[in-house]
Structure 1
C-alpha cells in the first residue's frame, strides 16, 4: 500500500472565491445587540412601518384564490405590463419585453451579473457601497476595482474624470448605485450622460442599482439643512435621475429595481430588471436555474402596489424627508458629529468621534447605550471613518437615538 493511500482528505471547504467574501458587518453589529434590552435598531435599511394594507389585502386575496403555482420565469404578464407602464411614466417608453420580474432586488443584481460577467472579467464599482454589489461579481470569479466618492463641505461627490480613467477598454461592467446606499449621493444627469457616452464607446455594460430612485429629495425643505449632490435633477421630480432617461432600451444598460423601498415590501422579496429584449431568453434560463420564478401571490400584490400605490409612495417620501431633516438638525448638536443632508435614499452617513474604527465603535454603542447603527467599514474601506443611520422611522424614535448617542459621546469624551 502506497503512502498516498493513507493521505488525510483535505477539509470540506467552500471554494476560495466564496471563502474570500466579506461577511456582513451590519449583521455582526446586530448580533452584538442580542440580549441587550431596549436596543434602538437603526442599522438595517428598512422602515419600521409594515407594508400598507391595500398591498397585504391583495396578497391575501390572491392566496384565497389559489395563486400558489409556478409562473413564467420572467413574471406574470399583468405584472410585467404594469411595470412597463410605471417605468414608461417615469422614464419614457418601455415595453413589457424589456421587463423581467425577479425574486427581490438583490436577486436581480445577481442575475444581471450572471448575464454579463464571468471569471477574470474586470468590474468597476463606485463606493462606498452596499457590500452585496461589490461581492456578487467576485462570486462569479470577476475582479472588482473601486472608485471612491469624495466627502467635503457639500457632502458626497463623484470625481467623474477619475471614474472615466478607471473605465478602461478592458472593463466589462460598471456598477453604480444612485441614490446611493449608504451615502445618499445622487448622480447628476450630466454625469450620467458623460459616463454613458464613455461606456458606449468602449462597449462597457452599465448595471445601475436604482432601488432608491423614488426616495429622492431634490430640494431641501428645512432651513439650516445643508445638502449635497448639487445639480442632481430629474425631468420628473418624483424620481432621481436614471440611466433609463438617457439610454435606449436595447443598449448595454441594465437597471435594477425593487418593491422593497417605495412600497415598504422588504420581506416580500420582489424586484425587477429593465434590460435589452435580446437578453430576455437567456435571462429566463438564469431565473429558472436560480429561483424558477417569483411567487404568484406576491406578484399579484406587486400589481396592486404599482397601479394603486402612487399616493402612498409620495406620502412616504414626504415623511422620510421630514425625518431626514429632523435627524440632521439633531445630530448637528452632538459634539464631534459632521453630518450633511443627502438628496436620496433613507440614510445619513456621517462622521463622529471614534469612527475611524467604526465596527468596534458601533458594537460599543450597542452594548453601552443600546444604540444600533451600521459601521462605515461595512460598505468597504472607503466607508471607514463614518457610520450609517437609517432614518425611516418617526421623529420621536430618532430623538431617543440621538440622546443615546449624546450620552455615549459624553462618556467617551468629545474631541477638543
Structure 2
C-alpha cells in the first residue's frame, strides 16, 4: 500500500523560499526583517476603531457569499471614482484576502491541463495556484533596460496562443516594481479577446504607484461587460491591512452568480465586523493612502540611492509597489546569500529565487519601513559587502 500523501500536483508545489528564510531568522532578536511585503506601521486608527465598534456591537454573523451589500456599494463607489467609469455592485465579490481572490478566480475559470501564462519574476502564489488545479504554466520573463524592468510585448504576444486559457498579470509587480505601460494594455486585451483568453489582473499594488497621483492604469478602464477580464485586489497594501485578510474581485456580470457558489464552497463569506472596517477604509482612507504613497516614495529614494552607491550592486528603478529588487555581482545563489546575510549581519531579505527561476541571483527588500529602520538595514548590508 502506498504512503498516505497528497496528490502529485500538491507535492510538486514550490515551498515558499520567503518562509524558509524567515524561519531561519525567526526567534533572533537581532534580526532586521525586510522579507515580507508589509509596512512596519499598524492599520490606521479610524479603520481599527470602526472595526472594534462593530465587533463590540455584535457584528459577528454570517453574511452574503458575495459580501455585505453596504460594502459592495462602498466598493462600487470607490472603484467608479478611481477608474472613471461605472463599476456596479453586480460585478463585485468580496474574498477572504487577495490570495483567496486569486484562488477563487482560478477555481472558476481554470481546468486541469489548461495552459496558463504569467509574466515573471512574480509572487509565487500567482504561479502555484493554477498548478494546484493541474494547469500547465508558462512564464514570460521581464527584461531590464535603461535601469528599469520592462516587458517584451512581442514575446508575450507570441505566448498568447489560441490554446491559452488564462493570462495572469501583476502590475505594479511584486517583486520588481515593474508597471505595465498603458499603451500595451489595449494590445493585450485585443489578443485576449481574439482568442477568448481570460485576462486576470492582480491589482493589489495599483494605488502604490510612484507616478503623479492620477487614475491608475487598469484594464477596468477599457474592458466591456462581455470581456473575459477579472481584477483581483486586496485591502492589505494600500490601507496597511495585511493581517485582516480581506480582498475583492471585479468580474464580468455573467460570472458573478457562479462566483458566489465558488465562495460558498471555500469560505462561505468574509467576517462580518471586518467588512465594516473595510467600509471605513474605502470611504475615509484617501488621506491615509496619500500619506503611505509619499512615505513609500521617500523610502524608495532612500533605499535605492544607498544600494546604488554600494560597489557591485545593480538596483533597477521600481515604478510602484514597496520593494527594491537588486543583485550583487558574483553572488548568483539567492537563497545562500539571503541565509548568509542573516547569519553574518542579521539582515532579513527575501531571495529572488522565491519568485521563480527568473529571480535567481536577486534579493527583494521591502522598504515600507520607517527611515531609521531602513537606514539600519542598509548599514548592515554595507558592512557585509565590506567584509
Asked if Structure 1 and Structure 2 have the same fold, meaning a TM-score greater than 0.5 normalized by the shorter chain, the answer is: yes
Deviation at residue 289 of structure 1 after TM alignment: 0.5
- For this pair of structures, how many residues does the alignment match? 386
Structure 2, unaligned stretches of length 5 or more?
Answer: none
Report the Cα distance in structure 2 between the residues aligned to 1:281 and 1:199, rounded to whole angstroms.
23
CA distance in 2, matches of 1:106, 1:261: 12
- More deviation, 345-354/364-373: 345-354
Query: Among 70, 74, 84, which residue is 2:66 paired with?
Result: 74
Residue 81 (structure 2) aligned to one of 80, 89, 93:
89
Query: What residue is the counterpart of 2:314 in the other structure?
Result: 338
Of 269-278 and 246-255, more deviation after overlay is shown by 246-255
Q: In the aligned structure 1, how far is the partner of 2:283 from the partner of 2:330? A: 46
- 1:98-247 to structure 2, matched below 5 A, reads 98-218=91-211, 237-247=213-223
- Do the aligned partners of 2:147 and 2:317 also contact (CA within 8 Å) in 1? no
Which of these residues, 217, 227, 231, is aligned with residue 251 of structure 1? 227
Q: Deviations over 1:221-249 (max 9, x none)?
A: xxxxxxxxxxxxxxxx3453111111124
Counterpart Cα distance in 2 of 1:239 and 1:384: 34
**Any idea what SS the aligned residue of 2:332 has?**
helix
Looking at structure 2, the residues matched to 396 and 331 of structure 1 have their Cα atoms a distance apart, in angstroms, of 16
- Match in the other structure for 1:284: 260
What is the CA distance between 1:36 and its match in structure 2? Answer: 2.9
Residue of structure 1 equivalent to 2:25: 33
Structure 1 residue ranges without an equivalent (≥5): 1-8, 220-236, 412-416
2:34 counterpart residue number: 42
Counterpart-to-counterpart distance in 2, 1:119 and 1:340: 37
Structure 1 residue ranges, 4+ long, deviating more than 2 angstroms after superposition: 34-37, 237-240
| TM-score (norm. length: structure 2) | 0.98
Other-structure match for 1:234: none
- Does 2:16 match 1:24? yes
Shift of 1:153: 2.5
User: Could you say which structure has the larger radius of gyration?
Assistant: 1
Structure-1 residue corresponding to 2:249: 273
- Confirm or deny: 8 A CA contact 1:355 1:387 kept in the other structure: no
Deviation readout 1:84-119 (Å, 9 max, x if unpaired): 111101111110000100100000000111111010
Question: What is aligned with 1:222?
Answer: none
Match of 1:53 in 2: 45
TM-score, reference length from structure 1:
0.91
8 A contact 1:263–1:312 mirrored in 2: yes
Report the secondary structure of 1:207's partner residue.
strand
Tell me, yes or no, if the aligned pair for 1:98 and 1:277 is still in contact at 8 Å: yes
Is residue 192–residue 243 contact of structure 1 (8 Å, CA) maintained in 2? yes
1:331 Cα deviation from its structure 2 partner: 1.1
Q: Distance in 2 between matches of 1:169 and 1:317?
A: 40
Match of 2:345 in 1: 369
- Structure 1 position 313 matched with structure 2 position 289: yes
Moved more, 242-251 or 342-351: 242-251
Could you say if the C-alpha distance between residues 401 and 113 of structure 1 is closer, same or farther in structure 2, counting changes exceeding 3 Å? same
What is the RMSD computed on CA atoms of the aligned residues?
1.0
Cα distance in 1, alignment partners of residues 206 and 290 from structure 2 = 12
User: Partners of 1:394 and 1:252 in 2: how far apart?
Assistant: 41
Displacement of 1:151 in angstroms is 1.7
Structure 1, 168-177 or 391-400: larger mean CA deviation: 391-400
